[in-house]
Structure 1
Amino acid sequence: YDGGAVFDFPFTGTQLSKWDWFHPSRDGQARLAEIAYRNVTAAEGARTRP
C-alpha cells in the first residue's frame, strides 16, 4: 500500500491524456508509477527490517 500517495497526487492538465482528458498521459503515468514504486517499496522495506 502506498499510503494514499497516488490518490493524493495533484494532477495538472499536462499529465492528462489529450484524447479523453480523463486518463493519465505518458508523463502522468510515469509520475504515478514513480510515486507508487517509491512508496510501496519503502513500505515493504519497513516490513522486512528486524
Structure 2
Amino acid sequence: MKTPPHVSPYLPPPSLWRAVYPDAFLAAISVTDLTVAGVWLDARRSE
C-alpha cells in the first residue's frame, strides 16, 4: 500500500514520482522549464 506523498515524511525519488504520477510529473517539469525560461528571458531583456 502506497502512502500519499503529502503524508510521507520524505520526498520519494523522481523515478517513483514518474511511476505513480507521470502526468503530474511532466506537468511540473513543463511549468518549471517555462518559469526558468521566462526568468532567463527577462534577465536578458533587462541587460
- Which structure has the higher relative contact order (CA within 8 Å, separation 6+)? 1
Paired residues for 1:1-50 under 5 Å? 11-13=14-16, 15-17=17-19, 25-50=22-47
CA positional deviation for 1:12: 4.9
| Superposition CA RMSD, Å | 2.3
Superposition misfits of 4+ residues, deviation over 3 angstroms: none
Larger gyration radius, structure 1 or structure 2: 2
Q: Which SS does the other structure have where 2:14 is aligned?
A: coil
Gaps of 5+ in 2: 1-12
Alignment identity in percent?
A: 11
TM-score between both structures, scaled by the size of structure 2: 0.57
Stretches of structure 1 that go unaligned for 5 or more consecutive residues are: 1-9, 19-23
